[in-house]
């Protein structure tokens, strides 16, 4: 009886509501609106169409990235290589060539701006996580080897890249780009090491606590900080007018001072409050997110790219604190599983392997790969030998420092956005990033085969 009574009341309530609405609608028919006529449903239809395509694109991106990442994990390679390749395969280099209709349906031009913004947010958050994982204790080690090896692994490829720019500039650059900007950017592009990928390779091989692993991680940590500071300098030179270069550099120096003099103590205070349960975890997460976005905004306005600000905020948070672990746990899956694959595909949409055609262009591409590998490996190897490492240890460190991966793609996208890299040169450097990263694991296995990593 109670169920029947409830059903009757509910039915009566619905009937009463429908009746009242019909009365309101009958009276409203006689009313006349005073606003001008607009095409009915235009905005809603357009927005719905964009949302449909964005959702479809995201599904395709996530599935393709995860599938190829799993394949490369099975091949004993870092999954990021498969995700990078998935991005290129979904772009004009393969999907756009073999199935242009499908490519246009999944990635129409109206979706590209949304993918661009999403990918940039993803990279900003990723650079924050890279800074968050950076063990600043490695930077403060009093051993001379990491600093010497790291800086040698930057100086050698930087100088070789600048020398190669003498040949590349006349045929692969434009009059809008000065040789100084071009040479600086080519040098930086050759100098990058992917700290997260290097750390993953060491962990997969159980070498992270060995002597080689510790030295390589310390070298990569120093390399990361130095390379990103160098990139900030190059971007400031490329973006600023000649009369504003010193102003940009001055503002950059002031920003760094503020981060380490004011923001770092605040971060330590926040870590203490969170550890003693005086602040809710959600509140600290909001504060950290607001800080990294404000820092990214500040460096973007200064003219050295938003990535630098987010990276520095991550650096000043102690990597082994409960706050860092909590923030990493909340952000990492969303960034790695959703946002970074969007960045890979956005990079792939801008990569046109077809522009690398003819024997001369492929010779240039091979030369870029050779110079990048020789500079990184050679600089690291020689410096490692001079600081007392054995031949095998020095070779292992040199091979690991030649890992570029995602970090290289970030640098290359900055260069393409600034107009310093042409689309053809961009494609060549993307191939270089893939080859050098892919080669790291098998070559390292060959060098260390039959030897257990020394503790």
pLDDT in tens, 272-318: 888 887 777 788 899 999 999 999 999 888 887 888 899 899 989 98
Mean pLDDT value of segment 341-356: 91
In a domain, 256, yes or no: yes
Alpha-carbon distance of 287 to 151, in angstroms, equals: 35
The mean pLDDT value of the chain amounts to 85
The mean pLDDT of 27-45, rounded to a whole number, is 64
How high is the pLDDT of residue 277?
77
Q: Print the domain residue range for 234.
A: 70-448
State the first-to-last Cα distance of the chain, in angstroms, to the nearest integer.
Answer: 77
pLDDT in tens, 218-255: 888 778 778 878 888 888 777 766 556 777 778 888 99
In a domain, 453, yes or no: no
Closest by CA position to 271, among listed 328, 318, 331, 329: 318
Confidence of residue 143 (pLDDT cuts 50, 70, 90): low
Residue 47 located in a structural domain: no
**Is 155 domain-assigned?**
yes
- Residue 24, in any domain of the structure: no
Sign of CA pseudo-dihedral 335, 340, 343, 349: negative
Q: What is the pLDDT of residue 242?
A: 59
pLDDT at 43: 47
Both tokens assigned to 199: 């750390």
Residue 142 clears pLDDT 60, i.e. is over it: no
356-386: b (≥16 Cβ within 10 Å) or e:
beeeebeebbeebbebbbebbbbbbbbbbbe
Confidence of residue 7 (pLDDT cuts 50, 70, 90): confident
Q: Give the residue, 280 or 349, on which the prediction is more confident.
A: 349
Q: Among residues of the chain, what percentage have pLDDT more than 70?
A: 92
Output the pLDDT for position 40.
Answer: 47
- Min mean pLDDT across 101-110, 132-141, 271-280, 348-357 is at 132-141
CATH number at residue 303: 1.20.1530.20
Task: Please indicate, yes or no, if residue 330 is contained in any of the structural domains.
Answer: yes
Mean pLDDT of 64-87: 90
Answer whether residue 51 is part of any domain: no
The tens digit of pLDDT for each residue in 45-65 reads 455 578 888 999 999 999 999
* DSSP result, 165-194: HHHHHHHH--TTS-HHHHHHHHHHHHH---
Quick one: pLDDT at residue 110? 87
Per-residue pLDDT, 45: 45
Listed residue (244, 234, 241) closest to 184, CA to CA: 234
- pLDDT value at residue 426: 94
Q: Which residues contact 184 (CB under 8 A, 6 or more apart)?
A: 162, 233, 234, 237, 238
Distance CA 276, CA 269 (A): 11
The answer to whether the CB of 201 falls within 8 A of the CB of 445 is no
In this prediction, residues 323-349 reach a mean pLDDT of 90
Average pLDDT over residues 422-432: 94
pLDDT at residue 39 greater than cutoff 60: no
Out of 85-89, 191-195, 422-426, 433-437, which region has the weakest mean confidence (pLDDT)?
191-195
Residues in the chain: 455
The total of structural domains in the chain comes to: 1
d(C-alpha 331, C-alpha 325), whole Å: 10
Is 37 contained in some domain? no
Ranking 137-141, 297-301, 450-454 by mean pLDDT, the lowest is 450-454
Task: Please report the pLDDT score of residue 41 as a whole number.
Answer: 47
Least confident of 114-123, 212-221, 414-423, 432-441: 212-221
- With cut-offs at 50, 70 and 90, classify the pLDDT of residue 207: confident
Give the pLDDT mean for 405-410.
85
């Amino acid at each position: 009886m109670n169920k029947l009574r409830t059903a009757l009341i509910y039915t009566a309530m619905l009937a009463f509501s429908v009746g009242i609405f019909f009365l309101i609608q009958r009276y409203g028919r006689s009313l006349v609106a005073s606003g001008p006529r607009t095409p009915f449903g235009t905005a809603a239809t357009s927005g719905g169409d964009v949302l449909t395509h964005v959702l479809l694109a995201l599904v395709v991106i996530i599935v393709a990235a995860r599938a190829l990442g799993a394949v490369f994990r099975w091949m004993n390679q870092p999954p990021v290589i498969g995700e990078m390749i998935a991005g290129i395969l979904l772009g004009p280099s393969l999907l756009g060539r073999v199935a242009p209709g499908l490519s246009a349906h999944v990635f129409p031009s109206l979706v590209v701006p949304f993918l661009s913004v999403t990918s940039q947010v993803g990279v900003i958050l990723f650079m924050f996580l890279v800074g968050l994982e950076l063990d600043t204790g490695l930077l403060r080690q009093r051993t001379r080897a990491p600093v010497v090896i790291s800086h040698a692994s930057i100086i050698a490829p930087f100088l070789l890249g600048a020398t190669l720019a003498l040949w590349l500039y006349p045929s692969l650059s434009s009059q809008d780009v000065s040789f100084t900007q071009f040479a600086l950017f080519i040098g930086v592009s050759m100098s990058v090491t992917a700290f997260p990928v290097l750390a993953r390779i060491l962990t997969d091989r159980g070498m992270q606590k060995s002597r080689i692993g510790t030295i390589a991680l310390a070298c990569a940590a120093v390399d990361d900080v130095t390379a990103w500071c160098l990139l900030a300098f190059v971007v400031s030179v490329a973006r600023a007018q000649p009369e504003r270069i010193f102003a940009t550099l001055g503002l950059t120096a002031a920003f760094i001072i503020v981060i380490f003099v004011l923001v770092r103590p605040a971060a330590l205070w926040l870590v203490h409050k969170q550890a003693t349960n005086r602040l809710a975890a959600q509140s600290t997460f909001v504060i950290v997110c607001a800080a990294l976005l404000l820092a990214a905004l500040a460096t973007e306005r200064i003219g050295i790219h938003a990535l630098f600000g987010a990276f520095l905020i991550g650096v000043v948070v102690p990597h082994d604190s409960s706050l860092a672990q909590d923030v990493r746990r909340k952000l990492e899956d969303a960034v790695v599983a959703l946002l970074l694959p969007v960045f890979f595909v956005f990079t792939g949409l801008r990569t046109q392997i077809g522009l690398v055609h003819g024997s001369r262009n492929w010779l240039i591409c091979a030369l870029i790969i050779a110079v990048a590998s020789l500079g990184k490996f050679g600089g690291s190897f020689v410096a490692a030998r001079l600081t007392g490492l054995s031949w095998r240890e020095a070779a292992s460190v040199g091979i690991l420092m030649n890992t570029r991966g995602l970090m290289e793609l970030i640098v290359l996208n900055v260069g393409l956005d600034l107009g310093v890299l042409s689309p053809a040169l961009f494609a060549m450097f993307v191939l270089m990033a893939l080859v050098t990263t892919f080669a790291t694991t098998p070559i390292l296995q060959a060098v260390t085969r039959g030897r257990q990593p020394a503790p």
